[in-house]
């Protein structure tokens, strides 16, 4: 089995970028849904950590955008 580079993986259509983007979008949706709870009860997932769930998902989007932009 030949070693595949990142460029080879990005070139083919057999990658999981759409699945990762869908998971990141779902994470943003879950993170924003906590704002609909009554006042004082909206503790987002990973709220006590350095980044909460929404911020992690946005960072994933930025990373994927950089990878896709570098291939265009």
Sequence ranges of the domains in the chain: 6-71
Per the CB < 8 A criterion, the answer to whether 60 and 20 are in contact is yes
pLDDT for res 13: 67
H/E stretch holding 20 reads helix 17-33
Residue in 10, 25, 6, 23 with CA at minimum distance from that of residue 68:
10
- What span, in angstroms and rounded, lies between the C-alpha atoms of 70 and 72? 6
Per-residue confidence band for 60, with pLDDT thresholds at 50, 70 and 90: very high
User: Average pLDDT of 26-37?
Assistant: 84
Residues of the chain with pLDDT > 90, as a percent, come to 10
User: Average pLDDT of 34-62?
Assistant: 79
CA 17 to chain centre: 10
- What span, in angstroms and rounded, lies between the C-alpha atoms of 53 and 45? 6
Residues of the chain with pLDDT > 70, as a percent, come to 75
């Amino acid at each position: 089995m030949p070693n595949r580079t990142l460029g080879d993986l990005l070139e083919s259509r057999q990658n999981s970028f759409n699945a990762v983007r869908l998971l990141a979008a779902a994470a943003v949706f879950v993170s924003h849904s906590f704002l609909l709870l009554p006042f004082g009860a909206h503790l987002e997932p990973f709220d006590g950590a350095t980044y909460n769930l929404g911020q992690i998902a946005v960072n994933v989007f930025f990373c994927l955008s950089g990878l896709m932009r570098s291939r265009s």
